[in-house]
Amino acid sequence: MALVFWNSGEEETIGGLDVLGYRKIDQDLERQWVAGITTISFRARYLSLVPWLLQEIFERDLAAGEGRGHFDPDRLEAALRRLELVVFLASKLGERWGESGNTYGVLGSDLFTEKLDEFLRQGRTSADSARGGASLGTYIMPCRSLGLLGTAAPGSPLPVSLTERGEGLSQARREASGIGSLAEVVLEGGQITSRDVEEAGRYFSVNGIESLSEEAQLLRAAFLVVCDDVDAEAFERFQATITWALAKVGKLGTAGSADVIRHEYSRVSRQTEPELRPVERAWFEYDLRRRVHFALELLLRAFTLTLERREKSTISGVLAEWRRERSLAPFAAERLCWRDEVWTRPLAELSEQLPADAFLDGGVPYESARKLDAPNAAAFSVGVLLACSRQSAVVREDRGLLARRSVLEQVNDLFEDLAETELTEVLRRLLRDCIVGPHLQNALRKMADQPLAKCTLRFYPEGEVLWTTGTGVKAGRSGERLGNVIGLLADLGYLERATNTTFRLTPLGASWVEQQGAV
């Protein structure tokens, strides 16, 4: 009889993005180098529009209260929704005044299709919407980190405070000629007409930052010049990231964030010089830890696939099934250069046969690795971990890579201790120490911290036996905030878009790199 899972019949089963609890390590590391830019803050125009809107709303609420501090959050929410609709329409229709019409990263692209249809049919639509309003939450962190907004005073009803830099952006927008009618629609509501959009849409389009030259200059300064309202150390790291990323794109010709990060990992792994700049070390370590975390999630996936088929098993039972797979699939065997009977061979021998440049030039083949069956995925995960251990050895030992007492260090210690141990026993230790226990602890901790949180358990224990919950694992890796940093730099003119996610260096970007001595 087939096993009936507790989530059978549910319309939604939670995937769980960080099922082992390891990704926080690399995410926190990246966060230190990107000045509050998040995985959802895509376009630079919002960095000026949000402070402008907040200042206008705060001042109008103050005037409505006859000088007394009144703040209406509902008024702000409605204005944010109108702003997002205007930005979407202006960006979408930008071809009318010579822009690209690209709406990549525009908030509400999936919410305002009916509004767009109505606008195209009738030449107008109501600015008010029951949908949207995410722009403040999406861009508040980068605005604060760049000194465009500040933290509200204790007890203040306002969500943020205004800064000198943010007020400068607002003033530049206020003084722009021809912006008034569409700005008034955003702030007070009414009808958005074709005439409004064609006359002033360029001032709201994500592709039109150059339409307000003073605003564009102030935004560039926010990225490149420190001010009193920012954390100076964090800003220095951010500026180092900008210079490093621009120089990398210039070297590669056409590249996205994945190319930039992979190139740095490969370069540092091959480099024999003892010195690394902090920014180089940081981005090497970021990718190193992401590769380790992916490999362990791939091993978790292999384990849960086997459990799902068996319904229940011990670790030993799973390993016994894997050992029956006498030869690896061609995809795994070719990339690892491992012969048959890998399960009984010592780890040191497998490490020696692994190519020194494994996964350097092309990176880890994430999508293909996810398609491997359980035994091959398990072996492949060890291959990736061995490559990471070998390729980071010099950096860890001679260049001061910070020991974070995380799973990376745990795996390296385990490999050192078990160098002469056969692969099956190495996998037993990895499963016990890095997969089963951490997954149970991570999932149960999340459920305890948030009583209404959905269950992310992939299995649960009954003594030594583990029972599947019927929910699979998709091995993944952290999304790159660096991609959005690079995208924002393209909006500001330091790069140009080849596609939505790949870029080329512009003369402005090359000039900045040269000024910083990073050519």
- Domain boundary assignment for the chain: 17-35+248-519, 45-224
Mean pLDDT is highest, among 42-56, 58-72, 468-482, for 42-56
Average pLDDT over residues 341-359: 95
pLDDT for residue 513: 94
pLDDT for residue 452: 67
Tokens of 291: 């590769």
Contacts of 100 (CB under 8 A, 6+ apart): 94, 207
Average pLDDT over residues 174-200: 92
Alpha helices in 129-201 (DSSP H): 135-145, 164-174, 180-188, 194-200
Contacts of 141 (CB under 8 A, 6+ apart): 36, 37, 38, 41
pLDDT for residue 463: 93
Closest CA to 306 of 437, 427, 467, 464: 467
Given the DSSP bridges, would you call strands 312-313 and 160-162 parallel, antiparallel or unpaired? unpaired
Q: Which of 19-23, 90-94, 338-342, 437-441 has the weakest average pLDDT?
A: 338-342
* Nearest-angstrom CA–CA distance, 322 and 431: 13
Residue 91 neighbours by CB distance under 10 Å: 26
Mean pLDDT, rounded, of the chain: 91
pLDDT for residue 301: 97
Tokens of 208: 């039109």
* Nearest-angstrom CA–CA distance, 129 and 385: 50
Bridge partners, residue 504, by sequence: 496
pLDDT for residue 1: 32
CA 286 to chain centre: 12
Q: What is the DSSP letter of 450?
A: S
pLDDT exceeds 90 at position 16:
no
% of the chain with per-residue pLDDT over 70? 93
- Give CA separation, 243 vs 83, 97, 247, 485, 516, in Å: 32, 32, 6, 11, 7
Give 459's pLDDT tier (boundaries 50, 70, 90).
Answer: very high
% of the chain with per-residue pLDDT over 90? 80
What SS3 class is residue 102?
coil
Contact status, residue 420 vs residue 387, Cβ threshold 8 Å: no
Average pLDDT over residues 250-278: 91
Bridge partners, residue 465, by sequence: 462
Angle at the Cα of 92 (from 88 to 97), degrees rounded to 5?
A: 120
Contact status, residue 498 vs residue 490, Cβ threshold 8 Å: no
Give 404's pLDDT tier (boundaries 50, 70, 90).
Answer: confident
Tokens of 147: 């000194």
What SS3 class is residue 497?
strand
Contacts of 308 (CB under 8 A, 6+ apart): 468, 470, 472
pLDDT for residue 273: 67
Bridge partners, residue 160, by sequence: 151
Given the DSSP bridges, would you call strands 312-313 and 465-468 parallel, antiparallel or unpaired? antiparallel
Higher-pLDDT residue of 435 and 456 is 435
Beta strands in 88-148 (DSSP E): 124-126
Contact status, residue 30 vs residue 478, Cβ threshold 8 Å: yes
Residue 362 neighbours by CB distance under 10 Å: 11
Q: Which of 118-122, 373-377, 440-444 has the weakest average pLDDT?
A: 440-444
